[in-house]
């Protein structure tokens, strides 16, 4: 039996990126639930983390559109992030719960709305770079910046203006004790959705900040804190490759932390997609003896845990 933190990518929640309907998300979650329950069935303890890019984008866009009318108000990003955790958590709870019952497994599923502490001095705050929400004209963009304290809008490759936010490093998971307690009692916990709601900490307590934490890095932090054996990053490819989509592409079965660093320096992993996964895998593999990370596809989750496929990252 292992304790596994599963990091779900965008394709686990939406099979068609153009279809952001709740119905299609729920259908994807039902397939994802099968993969998760296959691990539970084998006796593993599973903690689930997931992305939220399209979902939080949809929520933010809805408020941005509403703000164009008189009296409009743009909901702050931490609140939008927490809404996306609830929305996605609801679908995962329902589908994983149903799949468990179908297998005759008597366990419960809970979503923990998760706050993740970031450092107020994180250099990322000086350089907001992660685009979020709708595209705007220059005039609309200026209006939003004037109206909304702290909005930064950037021109996005000729497609219009878009809001950008910082992506700081995760430091601490506020709800770690409740996640651990639930997992140790045998329940399936969903935590750190969308990388967690980023908060900064001061004498008065916690305060949400307009930022986005990378979900692979947050999942890594969660796996470390939960003393997991495996960080299982599920995405759209079965294995990590070098020379990806280029002549000489080679899919990797194993990767040591040192090899990974060399490949990162050579630019084999796309920033914002494969790079944070490899970074997270290396950090986790180095965080304690016997810990390993596996990067594979949702469909191959079970095979990968049995050692049959995926890219296994060790120290």
Q: Using CB under 6 A as the criterion, which residues of the chain lie in contact with ligand ADP when the complex forms?
A: 9-10, 51, 235-237, 240-241, 244, 268-270, 273-274
Q: Which does 310 bind (CB under 5 to 8 A by kind): ligand ADP, Mg ion, none?
A: none
The edge-to-edge listing of strands for the beta sheet with 161-165 is: 130-136, 161-165, 153-155
Instruction: Kindly tell me which of 15 and 273 has the beta carbon lying closer to ligand ADP.
Output: 273
Distance CA 196, CA 175 (A): 10
Q: Minimum distance from CB of 195 to ligand ADP (Å)? A: 11
The residue (of 43 and 271) whose beta carbon lies closer to ligand ADP is 271
Considering beta carbons, is residue 235 or 309 the nearer one to ligand ADP? Answer: 235
Residue nearest to ligand ADP (CB): 9
List the single partner that 270 binds among Mg ion, ligand ADP, none, CB under 5 to 8 Å by kind. ligand ADP
From the list ligand ADP, Mg ion, none, partner contacted by residue 236 (C-beta under 5 to 8 A by kind) = ligand ADP
Closest distance of CB 102 from ligand ADP, Å: 26
Distances 215 to 67, 170, 228, 250, 290 between C-alpha atoms, Å:
28, 10, 17, 26, 23
| Smallest distance, ligand ADP to C-beta of residue 191, A | 17
**Cβ closest to Mg ion, residue 9 vs residue 128:** 9
| CB distance 151 to 77 below 8 Å | no
The residues facing 134 across adjacent strands are: none
| 130 catalytically annotated | yes
Query: Catalytic one among 215, 221, 292, 300?
Result: 215
190 binds, among Mg ion, ligand ADP, none (CB under 5 to 8 A by kind): none
- Beta-bridge partners for 131: 164
Residue 277 annotated to the active site? yes
Which one is catalytic: 41, 57, 97, 130?
Answer: 130
- Name residues whose C-beta falls within 8 Å of residue 99's C-beta, 6 or more positions apart in sequence: 30, 33, 34, 36, 37
Q: Work out what residue 193 binds among ligand ADP, Mg ion, none; the CB cut-off runs from 5 to 8 Å by kind.
A: none
From the CB of 73, what's the least distance to Mg ion, in Å?
29
Per-position DSSP letters for 218-270, written without gaps between them: HHHHHHHHTT-SEEEEEES-SS-EESTTSTT-EE-SEEEHHHHHHHHHTT-S-
Rounded to whole angstroms, the Cα distance separating 105 from 271 reads 40
Contacts with Mg ion by CB under 5 A lie at 10
CA within 13 Å, CB half, 231: 33
Least separation in angstroms between CB 244 and ligand ADP: 3
Provide the H-helix boundaries in 1-134.
Answer: 22-41, 53-67, 77-102
Q: Is 11 a catalytic residue?
A: yes
**Residues with catalytic annotation?**
10-11, 130, 215, 277
């Amino acid at each position: 039996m292992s304790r596994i933190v599963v990091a779900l990518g965008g394709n686990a929640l939406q099979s068609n990126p153009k279809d952001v309907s709740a119905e299609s998300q729920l259908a994807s979650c039902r397939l994802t639930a099968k993969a998760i329950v296959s691990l539970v069935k084998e006796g593993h303890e599973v903690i689930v983390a997931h992305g939220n890019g399209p979902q939080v984008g949809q929520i933010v866009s809805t408020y941005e559109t509403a703000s164009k009318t008189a009296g409009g108000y743009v909901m702050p990003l931490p609140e939008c992030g927490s809404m996306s955790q609830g929305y996605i958590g609801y679908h995962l709870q329902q589908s994983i719960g149903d799949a468990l019952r179908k297998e005759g497994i008597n366990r419960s599923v809970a979503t923990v709305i998760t706050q993740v502490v970031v450092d107020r001095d994180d250099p990322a705050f000086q350089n907001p770079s992660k685009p979020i929400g709708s595209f705007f004209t220059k005039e609309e963009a200026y209006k939003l910046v004037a109206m909304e304290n702290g909005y930064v809008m950037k021109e996005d490759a000729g497609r219009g203006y878009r809001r950008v936010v910082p992506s700081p490093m995760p430091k601490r998971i506020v709800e770690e004790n409740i996640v651990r307690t639930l997992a140790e009692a045998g329940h399936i916990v969903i935590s750190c959705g969308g990388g967690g709601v980023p908060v900064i900490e001061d004498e008065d307590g916690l305060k949400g900040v307009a930022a986005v934490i990378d979900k692979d890095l947050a999942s890594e932090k969660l796996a470390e804190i939960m003393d997991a054996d495996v960080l299982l990053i599920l995405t759209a490819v079965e294995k990590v490759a070098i020379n990806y989509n280029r002549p000489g592409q080679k899919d990797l079965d194993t990767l040591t932390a040192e090899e990974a660093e060399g490949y990162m320096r050579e630019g084999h992993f796309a920033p914002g997609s494969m790079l944070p996964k490899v970074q997270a895998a290396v950090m986790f593999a180095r965080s304690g003896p016997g810990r390993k990370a596996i990067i594979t596809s949702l469909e191959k989750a079970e095979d990968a845990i049995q050692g049959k496929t995926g890219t296994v990252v060790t120290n």
